[in-house]
With several copies, the nearest count.
Chain A
C-alpha cells in the first residue's frame, strides 16, 4: 500500500460516509442508539485533519496513527473495532513489505481476525464482521487464484454487499442490537452497512488506478 493511496481513500471514504448520513442514522436508530453515523463522521473528520501530517510518512506509520486517532475520536463500539483493524494493518505493514495483492489480502485477513478477537464475535452475529469476514475470505481465495484485478475488486464489492445484506434476517447476538432479540430481524446492521460502504468506496477508487 502506498501512503498516497491511503490518503486518497481516506478522503473518498469520508465523502461516501457523509452522503450516507440519513441511511446510517436510521439504521442505528432502528436497532441501536442512533449515533453510528455521528461517530464515523467524527472519526473521519479527525483523520482528514491529519492529512498534511500523514502525507510524508510511511504507510505503516500512517495506518498506526490513523488507528490511534480513530481509537480516541470514534468511541462507541465501532471505535475500538475500527482502530484495531487499522492498527493490525499497520503491524502487517511494519513487519513485512505489503506489496503484492496476496500480501494485502493476508494483512486484511489478520486485521479482520483482530476485530473478531476484540469484539469476541464471529460471522452471523449481525455486526460489521458479517461484511468483513466474507470480504477477507474472497480476498484470500481470489488472490490465491491470481484473478484479474478488476474482477477481484468487483468480487470484493459483491462479497461486502452480500455480507451486509445477510445481516437483515439475523438476530443480533453481539452489540446493542442483541438486546432486541427477534425485533432486530428485518433491519440491516449499521456497522455492516458502513463497512460495506468503506470497502465499496475503496474498491471503486482502486479500480480507477488499474488503467
Chain B
C-alpha cells in the first residue's frame, strides 16, 4: 500500500484539517466529535445534515455550503459516524425549522443516524438514499445501497431548504429524487483501506467487478474485462430496467469516478452511455462527469440516471457554492 499519509491513525483528522483550511471561506471543522459545518450559519431553514464513512470524498464534506448541506459527519474510513457526531452537528446548525438527515442505506449508517434521531431534541426526519440497482431489492434484504445518486438528493434538498421550505417538504423531495434515481458501478481494481494495508479484494489483471459497491463490496458478478461500450451497455440496461422511463423523459446523467479513473476515460464512458440513453428516446438535459462519490483509491466508475421533472431540474440548476459543486455563485 502506497499512500500519502503520515500514519493511519491521523489520516482522517489531517485530511479534514486540510479540507477545512483549503476551504476556510466555506466551512468550519469541529473535532471530538468530528463534524464540519457551513461557515455562516443559515437562518430560518431546515438544517440539512449528511454523513457517513470517510473515503468517498468529496461526499459529504465537499457538498457543505450554500444550496446544499449545512453539516457533514465524517466517520472513519468506510465506517459510519457515531450518534454523538450527528447530535453535535445538529446542535450547531439547527435553525429553528428542524433537521433533515440524508443517510446512505447501510446498516451501520442507518442505525447510528437512527440512534442520533432518537436522542435529538429537535424535529427531525431522515431521507434514506438507495439508488444502487446492483443490489436486487428483494424483500428479505436490507434494501439497496445508497451511492452516487446521493449527490443529486443532497443538491435538490439543499436547494429547496434554501427557499425556507419546511421539514416535511424537504423530506418529500429527497424521497422523490431518490425514487427517481438509479445507479450502478463497476470496479477495475480493488480499493485499499489504509488501516487494513492491503486490497479489499483480489482482482485479476483481466477481470472486472460488475455492480461493485463504493466500499469495495463485491457486486453482481466477476467478469472478464471487456470494452467500454459493452460494460456501459450492461450498466445502462440495469438502470433502465429499474427506472423504466418512458420515451421522451428528461434525465440527468452522472458519470462518477471511483477515484483512480482518469477524466479522459470518464468522458469516454459518458459518450457511450449518452448514446445508449438517446437510443432509448431519453433526453439528457443535465450532465455531471467527475469524481463525486469515490471509493478510496479504486479504479472504476458508476453511472447514475435521475429522471428529471420541473421541480428536480429547477433544484438542480439553482445556485450552489460548495467545495465540490459550484455554479451561479
Contacts and interface: CB of A to CB of B under 8 A. Distances in A.
Contacts of A181: 136
B215 A33 contact: yes
Interface in A10-43: 25, 29, 31-35, 38-39, 42
Interface string B293-321: 00000000000000000000000000000
Interface residues of A, number: 33
Given A29-B196, A178-B142, A77 B81 contact: no
A183 B221 CA distance: 9
B82 interface: yes
B310 to A, nearest CB: 34
Contacts of A178: 141-142
Given A35-B193, A35-B195, A80-B83, A179 B115 contact: no
Nearest to A29: B200
Contacts of B213: 33, 179
Contact of A25 (B112, B135, B196): B196
Nearest to B115: A80
Given A34-B216, A175-B107, A75 B112 contact: yes
A195 to B, nearest CB: 15
Interface residues of B, number: 37
B142 A175 contact: yes
A72 B196 CA distance: 21
Contacts of A72: 33, 82-85
B58 interface: no
B15 interface: no
B302 to A, nearest CB: 15
Nearest to B136: A181
Interface string B102-113: 000011100110
B136 A35 contact: no
A176 interface: yes
B141 A73 contact: no
Contacts of B114: 80, 118
Contacts of B218: 31, 179-180, 183
B106 A176 contact: yes
Contacts, number: 114
B196 A71 contact: no
B71 to A, nearest CB: 17
Given A34-B200, A71-B84, A80-B112, A173 B217 contact: no
A79 interface: yes
A174 interface: yes
B217 A179 contact: yes
Nearest to B77: A35
Q: Which interface residue of A34, A118, A174, A176 has the most chain B CB atoms within 10 A? A: A34
A74 interface: yes
B122 interface: no
B239 to A, nearest CB: 17
B78 interface: yes
B200 A76 contact: no
A77 B78 contact: no
Contacts of A74: 79, 82
A77 B76 contact: no
A81 interface: yes
B145 interface: yes
Interface string A155-199: 000000000000000000111101111010000000000000000
Contact of B217 (A32, A39, A73, A174): A32
A33 B80 contact: no
A179 B78 contact: no
Contact of A38 (B195, B200, B201): B195
A173 B83 contact: no
Contact of B140 (A42, A83, A173): A173
A75 B145 contact: no
Interface string B127-152: 00000001110001110010000000
The list of the 5 closest CB pairs from A to B, nearest first, reads A77-B108, A33-B215, A80-B111, A76-B108, A77-B107
14 contacts: A33-B78, A34-B193, A35-B77, A38-B195, A71-B83, A72-B84, A74-B79, A75-B75, A75-B80, A79-B111, A80-B111, A179-B218, A180-B217, A180-B218
Given A33-B78, A38-B195, A75-B53, 17 more contacts: A25-B196, A29-B201, A34-B200, A34-B216, A35-B53, A35-B77, A39-B79, A72-B83, A73-B82, A76-B53, A80-B82, A80-B111, A80-B114, A176-B108, A179-B135, A179-B141, A179-B145
